[in-house]
Structure 1
């Protein structure tokens, strides 16, 4: 009798141990457990730690609550200004409602991926090439709103969406390079023209000042001689007075005195002719 009780106790203990092993579950810190009992969802979501389920009756689904980084495959499309581009992006999202993520959608990762690809194609068709290249923040916000609206019903929150790269055809790259080069050349010419205009105004003011003070021109000439001599070269500079040039210029423009015209038959010598 005692042996039978020992055997029964051992069998019960073994059964309890097997049941405990089959019913024991561990939910990690970054996970939440959703229990389906006979196909029906239990309202209580299992928190991290040790938990028990009924073997054969309950089914525990663990849902990762971490932020998921999902790359969006490169999508090829035509922009609003008829340029063919390839754009890839990355989506950051996380599950905020584990029960909805299990019940409302079959595979929330696959659903988010497909929705991201479709939304990215839509953004490409609605945007210009300049927006894709320089105004990505606005496009990222628009893409995030397009993804977050349906994802809320799946218990998923879109944390952020970013466009990573925009690939252009080689012909478009060469055209943009020529455009940028022409733009830089135009700016350089404008800057040079502005510098010439400013220099001409300053030179006109300096010439006006020097014309009122003739000695200033001599001082400027001496400064030029000092600057040339500082280079330590073999050039010989001979200053030439500017007043002498002005004198020669005035002398060249003065009119010569005209010779007197004598009447015909008049002799150069004084006296009366013979009758």
Structure 2
């Protein structure tokens, strides 16, 4: 196939623009922003193959910048923020899950150990007493309160 091209510069430029539109149109936005080397290589191959018939050798093609409309930039920023929020929630929920698991393990150990609950109770009262509180409420079992008030009085 022999093509007659009089203005090689213009023909190469127009073909490069057409090829760029084609490659950009079939690429994902994330790929355009993150995989420029692959896109540059693909463009160079396409343009070099077509212009080789005209006796032109294309040695380098470089996409320097991808400019997005303002509404697209806002949409991408919103998407990125939503993704960060999602990851933060996952990390937080994983932390809560681990904390709940550790609390359950501690409760199991304390239930098996004689006197562990009384020791924990005393530690808690000590911590409460350190604060500058004026009122301290001691949670006591009802049977102890009944003994304090006498057997005949109701609590």
Find the structure with the greater CA-based Rg. 1
User: Are 1:173 and 2:69 matched, yes or no?
Assistant: no
The whole-number CA distance in structure 1 between the counterparts of 2:89 and 2:21 is 41
1:220 to partner: Cα distance: 8.5
1:148 to partner: Cα distance: 0.9
The whole-number CA distance in structure 1 between the counterparts of 2:122 and 2:56 is 82
What is the match of residue 41 of structure 2? 141
User: TM-score, normalized by length of structure 1?
Assistant: 0.42
User: Are 1:150 and 2:50 matched, yes or no?
Assistant: yes
User: Are 1:235 and 2:104 matched, yes or no?
Assistant: no
The CA deviation string for residues 104-134 of structure 1, in whole angstroms up to 9 with x for no partner, is 8655444432321221122233333333223
1:203 to partner: Cα distance: 0.5
In structure 1, runs of 5+ residues without a counterpart are 1-103, 229-233, 258-275
Structure having the larger proportion of residues in helix = 2
Distance of aligned partners of 1:178 and 1:123 in 2 relative to their CA distance in 1, 3 Å threshold? same
The whole-number CA distance in structure 2 between the counterparts of 1:221 and 1:252 is 18
What is the match of residue 161 of structure 1? 61
The whole-number CA distance in structure 2 between the counterparts of 1:223 and 1:182 is 41
What is the match of residue 30 of structure 1? none
1:245 to partner: Cα distance: 4.6
The whole-number CA distance in structure 2 between the counterparts of 1:208 and 1:134 is 51
1:155 to partner: Cα distance: 3.6
Structure having the larger proportion of residues in strand = 1
Aligned counterpart in structure 2 of residue 212 of structure 1, from 112, 118, 127: 112
User: Are 1:130 and 2:30 matched, yes or no?
Assistant: yes
Aligned counterpart in structure 2 of residue 249 of structure 1, from 128, 139, 142: 142
Q: How many residues align?
A: 140
User: Equivalent residues in 2 for 1:1-275 (5 A)?
Assistant: 106-217=6-117, 218=119, 222=123, 235-236=131-132, 245=139, 248-251=141-144
Deviation beyond 6 Å, 4+ runs, structure 1: none
What is the match of residue 42 of structure 1? none
In structure 2, runs of 5+ residues without a counterpart are none
CA RMSD of aligned residues (A): 3.5
Distance of aligned partners of 1:171 and 1:221 in 2 relative to their CA distance in 1, 3 Å threshold? farther
1:214 to partner: Cα distance: 4.1
Distance of aligned partners of 1:253 and 1:130 in 2 relative to their CA distance in 1, 3 Å threshold? farther
Indicate the SS of the match to 1:183: helix
